[in-house]
Amino acid sequence: MSRDHWDVERIRKDFPALHQDVHGKPLVYLDNAATTQKPQAVLDALRAYYTEDNANVHRGVHLLSERATEAYEAARARIQRFLNAGQSREIVFVRGTTEGINLVANTYGRRMVGPGDEIVISALEHHSNIVPWQMLCEERGAALRVVPIDDAGEVDVDAYERLLSPRTRLVAVAHVSNALGTIVPVERMIALAHRQGVPVLIDGAQAVSHLRVDVRALDCDFYTFSGHKAFGPTGIGALYGKAELLERMPPWQGGGDMIKSVSFEKTVYNDLPYKFEAGTPHIAGAIGLGVALDYLEGLGLDGVAAYEGELLAHATEALSSVPGVRLVGTARDKAAVLSFLVDGVHAHDVGTILDQEGVAVRAGHHCAMPVMTRFGLAATARASFALYNTHEEIDALVSALGRVREVFG
């Protein structure tokens, strides 16, 4: 898809937050890996839910509750189609990727992992795909094994294969690295794990807004993502799990909605997916997420990936040609995320100066301190793109980097 076929100006009209000045300059929003802006359709859906349908789900006999329940369950079915899961009961609503991972660690993990067992992750992981496993390993006397990455930021699949052993109980890896943009060859890694009978969880937080995800083609056992990184509201996300695994897992949080019957002697847990959804969920968020996925698929994920590929190629070339700028993370297969350093200038100073020029980037360790350690860095600046960014915004980034040089001399 060439840039002529991607009507980015029309798409930008759908995102009200993009149209503002910051510090007197037009906003250039390049912090999409942290969170994306929301299309008007999502904002309208949230407002419509609270204005017209607000009621609790799965309990009322009244009309509003029926409407809320229907919309909430339709959102679940929407996510099922989006991920190409086989059944909607395999989709559990969670607050986000972090909660999805914690749910698996606390249920599957606590049941299946014992002393001497191992969990395998990669050196690319976000803290949310490290710390829950560390906590589990500490509690159960298990060990965390880490697959190394190379200087380009690619996962060493040979080393991964060697790390898999009869003691491995679970593999948990990111689909796309938030800090470096690396697209991880998860399909191969899943196949290798399955050869040893090891289930695999994929952290899809950075993937779903950039590439088509098909959990059945991947054959992953768990897949989790956050709505707010895919144009949906904050505080809502989804965990996909294969039904046979979810069935075997104990519930995590106890409360209303996750039970069939309660007495002081015995509680009977609810069926999937409600067994994992204690308490009143983020109903509006779920509905908003469904609308966000409608929006995303309406544009077409193949078109999104092609357009972002153009942005990535342009930005990579443009940043590489700025004197003193060095890219960190140069994997062959990348999403539109560029971590970079400016010679002699700390990432926070870069971030502050870019912000004064209207350009919003992230500066820091990106909640991936082991990745920074791997490259001997404390922090990088990171520009991350979404389907509404333009080639002109890359030029604005480059021009703002000129200001950094002006200030620091």
Question: Which residues participate in catalysis according to the annotation?
Answer: 367
Among the listed ranges 131-139, 225-233, 297-305, 344-352, the one in contact with another protein (CB under 8 A) is 344-352
Nearer to another protein by C-beta: 190 or 379? Answer: 379
Q: Going by DSSP bridges, is the β-strand pair 359-360/337-342 parallel, antiparallel, or unpaired?
A: unpaired
* Residue 349 binds to another protein (criterion: CB under 8 A): yes
Q: Which parts of 53-192 are beta strand (E)?
A: 91-94, 118-122, 143-147, 168-174
Looking up tokens 């749910």 gives: 103
Nearer to another protein by C-beta: 184 or 354? Answer: 354
* Residue 22 binds to another protein (criterion: CB under 8 A): no
How far is Cα 402 from Cα 111, in angstroms, rounded to an integer?
55
Out of 12, 58, 194, 346, point to the residue binding another protein (CB under 8 A).
346
**171 phi and psi angles, rounded to 5 deg:** -110, 135
* Residue 166 binds to another protein (criterion: CB under 8 A): no
How far is Cα 407 from Cα 356, in angstroms, rounded to an integer?
12
Q: Output the smallest distance, CB 34 to another protein, in A.
A: 13
Among the listed ranges 92-100, 215-223, 323-331, 357-365, the one in contact with another protein (CB under 8 A) is 357-365
Which residues make beta-bridge pairs with 224? 203, 239
Per-residue interface string for the shown chain with another protein, residues 374-403, x marking contact by CB under 8 A: ----xx-----------------------x
Out of 123, 342, 353, 383, point to the residue binding another protein (CB under 8 A).
353
Out of 137, 193, 363, 371, point to the residue binding another protein (CB under 8 A).
363
Among the listed ranges 91-99, 159-167, 322-330, 350-358, the one in contact with another protein (CB under 8 A) is 350-358
> 231, 295 in Cβ contact below 8 A?
yes
Give 86-99 as a DSSP string.
S-GGGEEEESSHHH
Q: Going by DSSP bridges, is the β-strand pair 143-147/267-269 parallel, antiparallel, or unpaired?
A: unpaired
* Residue 343 binds to another protein (criterion: CB under 8 A): no
**170 phi and psi angles, rounded to 5 deg:** -160, 145
> 41, 14 in Cβ contact below 8 A?
yes
Per CB under 8 A, contacts with another protein among 23-52 are 23
Give the count of beta carbons closer than 10 Å to the beta carbon of residue 167. Answer: 15
Size of the site for another protein (CB under 8 A): 20
Q: Output the smallest distance, CB 342 to another protein, in A.
A: 12
Nearer to another protein by C-beta: 92 or 363? Answer: 363
Hey, what are 325's tokens? 């700028």
Q: Output the smallest distance, CB 372 to another protein, in A.
A: 7
Among the listed ranges 49-57, 235-243, 325-333, 349-357, the one in contact with another protein (CB under 8 A) is 349-357
400 contacts: CB under 8 Å, gap ≥ 6: 28, 353, 354, 357, 358, 359
* Residue 127 binds to another protein (criterion: CB under 8 A): no
Out of 142, 180, 319, 345, point to the residue binding another protein (CB under 8 A).
345
Out of 372, 396, 400, 401, point to the residue binding another protein (CB under 8 A).
372
- C-alpha distances out from residue 391 to 19, 231, 301, Å: 16, 20, 19
Hey, what are 122's tokens? 């990669």
Nearer to another protein by C-beta: 167 or 346? Answer: 346
Hey, what are 258's tokens? 């996750």
Q: Output the smallest distance, CB 121 to another protein, in A.
A: 21
> 125, 203 in Cβ contact below 8 A?
yes
Out of 364, 375, 390, 398, point to the residue binding another protein (CB under 8 A).
364
Q: Going by DSSP bridges, is the β-strand pair 325-328/337-342 parallel, antiparallel, or unpaired?
A: antiparallel
Among the listed ranges 70-78, 135-143, 232-240, 342-350, the one in contact with another protein (CB under 8 A) is 342-350
Q: Output the smallest distance, CB 147 to another protein, in A.
A: 23
Cis peptide bond N-terminal to 233, omega within 30: no
Interacting residue ranges for another protein, rule: CB under 8 A: 23, 345-349, 352-353, 356, 363-365, 369, 372, 378-379, 403, 407-409
